[in-house]
Structure 1
Amino acid sequence: MADRPYRDTRTSGSTGPARTTGPADGAGWQPPEHEVEPAYQPVQINRADGTWTVGRINGWWRPSTGSRAWCRVRALGRGETPVWVPFDPERLLLLPACGT
């Protein structure tokens, strides 16, 4: 996931100065922890080079009602650190967490 960074370009509105929020503020960006919903969701990650790899979503965050959900995702087996990205069903294919 780290090979395709996301930029959040939301602004504070037409009357105030433009501001950038979210992961564009830096690689270590995180939403307020009390707003994060813990998760354990296996996913297939579509990488920038077109390959797929297995990963895990371990947190969900929605900045406000009606806005796009963000998830903390990490590719498994590569030693990558988790990153926050907007959820994109074309890049993150949710897999069953349990069942037969």
Structure 2
Amino acid sequence: MADDPRPHTVATRPATAAAGWQPPEHEVEPAYQPVQINRTDGSWSVGRINAWWRPGGGAQAWCRVRALGRGEAPAWMPFDPEHLLLLPAGGI
């Protein structure tokens, strides 16, 4: 069997998360972080980050976000402070 000249790499994260994509469960950190979500139409909604995934090598962190009161399923997305505004989790 001849050696395959193509490099063998494993993607640590997709360029864009397809619907239903999830990182390896053992690498996911549970969280409870309220956020405001800046939607593509320019509106804002309240939501919550309920998990973080930080791939190695200094790659961008991803978070699982759920918009509250909209009936939407949680979705993984790269953390972008221009689209996700972190809110205080509690207290002063």
Do residues 22 (structure 1) and 41 (structure 2) align? no
Instruction: Return the offset for 1:65.
Output: 3.4
| Runs of 4+ displaced beyond 4 Å | 17-21
- Taking the TM superposition and a 5 Å limit, the aligned residue runs for 1:24-43 are 24=16, 26-43=18-35
What is the TM-score with the length of structure 1 in the denominator? 0.76
Match of 1:78 in 2: 70
Kindly indicate whether the alpha-carbon contact (under 8 Å) linking 1:23 and 1:29 is maintained by their aligned counterparts in 2: no
Do residues 59 (structure 1) and 72 (structure 2) align? no
1:16-58 per-residue CA deviation (whole Å, 9 max, x = no partner) reads 3788643746311100111000000000000001011000000
Secondary structure of the structure 2 residue equivalent to 1:98 = coil
Task: State the superposition RMSD in angstroms.
Answer: 2.2
Instruction: Return the offset for 1:66.
Output: 1.0
What is the TM-score with the length of structure 2 in the denominator? 0.83
**Which moves more between the two structures, 59-68 or 46-55?**
59-68
Q: Percent identity?
A: 70
Gaps of 5+ in 2: 1-5
